[in-house]
Amino acid sequence: MEIPHQRLIYFQLTVETGSVRRAAARLDIAASAVSRQLGLLESALDATLLERRRDGVRPTPVGEMLLDYCSQRTELDRHFSDKLDAYQRLETGLISLRVGEGFVGDLIDYPLREFTEAHRGIRLEVDTGSTREIIDAVVNDEVHIGLMYHEQVHPHLRFWHSTLQPLVLLMSPEHPLSDAASPVTLDVLSEYPLALWHPGHGVRQLVDEAFRDAGKRAKVGIQTSSLEVLKHSARAGLSLTLLPRFAAAKELEEGTLVARDVVGRRFDQANAHIVTRVGRRMPRSALQLLRHLQHWMSAFRCIESPRVDE
């Protein structure tokens, strides 16, 4: 049963003031208007709500039930209003992300820590995945935001921000190529064992395309779905690996890995992207986080690619 909110207000005020006339004066309307609304309310409930006494009106047992309902409804309205206000002030809510594993260190070490400290009521869900898994999760509304590497054209993806993040060759400081003064060619690279992502990963796809274009074949020594395996194998001197610099920023800073440029148009033009689904209405908190990541993540602070949707 739907009870018009206005009639409930008339009923509450009548009980509170003790008379229809005083309720009408409080509302600044005619007493007959209040009486009419109370009559419609009693008809809808098929019950008498008020009994008239010398000292004013009093609620009947059904009227007491209705007063309790009004009180609960007011409390629910207030609770919803408080929650909505907190949500709009970015104090509560859930934001979900699906990211390439190479983004994790860059994402967690500073940007997410600062964001969660500023918005302690917001919960985050962060999962990793391949480029294809990230695209599927964003397009199917499983997550709000995707962070992915390498160009992927999709009619349902909005590219909020893209930056050039060339693929570089990572190795131990003791590796013979660590002293290379010029970019390493694919001819030279094809002579050394590589640790690579499994086929289908965005970076692996990029590497395979580059070798295919050059008419060369990569010497794959290790295949994995783990970023740590790639970096550890390079640090240990077991193999070389190819990653964007931000994926090994800590190791490069510490000097446990060194990076060398690789000759190849595909490597030079690789991009990092922040994506959402085209047409999805994003929560304010997710938009705030998106802009925060764009500003603070090192993966998105390089020279901007022209591939940015407005």
Query: Domain residues for 216?
Result: 167-268
Question: The domain that contains 13 carries what CATH number?
Answer: 1.10.10.10
Do 276 and 128 share a domain, yes or no? Answer: yes
pLDDT at 306: 40
pLDDT at 16: 87
> Which band of pLDDT confidence, cut at 50, 70 and 90, is reported for residue 88?
low
Residue 153 reports pLDDT greater than 90 = no
Do 81 and 203 share a domain, yes or no? Answer: no
Domain annotation covers residue 307? no
Do 172 and 262 share a domain, yes or no? Answer: yes
For 233-253, write each residue's pLDDT tens digit.
Answer: 999 999 999 999 999 999 999
Domain end, chosen from 67, 88, 109, is at: 88
pLDDT at 85: 66
Do 57 and 176 share a domain, yes or no? Answer: no
Strands (E), the chain: 50-53, 56-59, 93-99, 122-128, 145-149, 157-164, 167-171, 194-197, 220-224, 240-244, 258-260, 271-277
Of 150, 174, 148, whose CA–CA distance to 237 is shortest?
Answer: 174
Do 132 and 278 share a domain, yes or no? Answer: yes
Domain annotation covers residue 172? yes
Do 55 and 187 share a domain, yes or no? Answer: no
Most confident of 13-17, 259-263, 303-307: 259-263
pLDDT at 70: 87
For 7-53, write each residue's pLDDT tens digit.
Answer: 888 888 888 898 888 888 888 899 899 899 888 888 888 899 898 88
DSSP letters for 46-76 = TS--EEEETTEEEE-HHHHHHHHHHHHHHHH
Domain end, chosen from 43, 70, 88, is at: 88
pLDDT at 215: 93
pLDDT at 118: 84
In this prediction the pTM is 0.68
Question: The domain that contains 104 carries what CATH number?
Answer: 3.40.190.10
Residue 302 reports pLDDT greater than 60 = no
For 89-99, write each residue's pLDDT tens digit.
Answer: 655 678 999 99
Domain annotation covers residue 118? yes
Of 177, 201, 197, whose CA–CA distance to 259 is shortest?
Answer: 177
> Which band of pLDDT confidence, cut at 50, 70 and 90, is reported for residue 308?
very low
Place of tokens 């901007």: 304
* Alpha-carbon span 161 to 20, nearest angstrom: 63
Do 101 and 64 share a domain, yes or no? Answer: no
> Which band of pLDDT confidence, cut at 50, 70 and 90, is reported for residue 310?
very low
Domain end, chosen from 45, 65, 88, is at: 88
For 179-215, write each residue's pLDDT tens digit.
Answer: 888 999 999 999 999 999 998 788 998 999 999 999 9
Do 209 and 141 share a domain, yes or no? Answer: no
Q: What is the mean pLDDT of the chain?
A: 88
Give Cα 283 to chain centroid, integer Å.
Answer: 9
Do 115 and 138 share a domain, yes or no? Answer: yes
Domain annotation covers residue 190? yes
Domain annotation covers residue 310? no
> What integer is the mean pLDDT of 136-149?
95
Do 144 and 182 share a domain, yes or no? Answer: no
48 CB-near residues (< 8 Å, 6+ apart): 42, 60, 62, 63
> What integer is the mean pLDDT of 213-237?
95
> What integer is the mean pLDDT of 264-272?
88
Place of tokens 């009693």: 42
- For the chain, what is the domain count? 3
Residue 304 reports pLDDT greater than 80 = no
Do 252 and 274 share a domain, yes or no? Answer: no
Domain annotation covers residue 308? no
Domain annotation covers residue 288? yes
Rg (CA), the chain: 32
Do 75 and 213 share a domain, yes or no? Answer: no
Domain annotation covers residue 180? yes
Residue 125 reports pLDDT greater than 70 = yes
Residue 284 reports pLDDT greater than 60 = yes
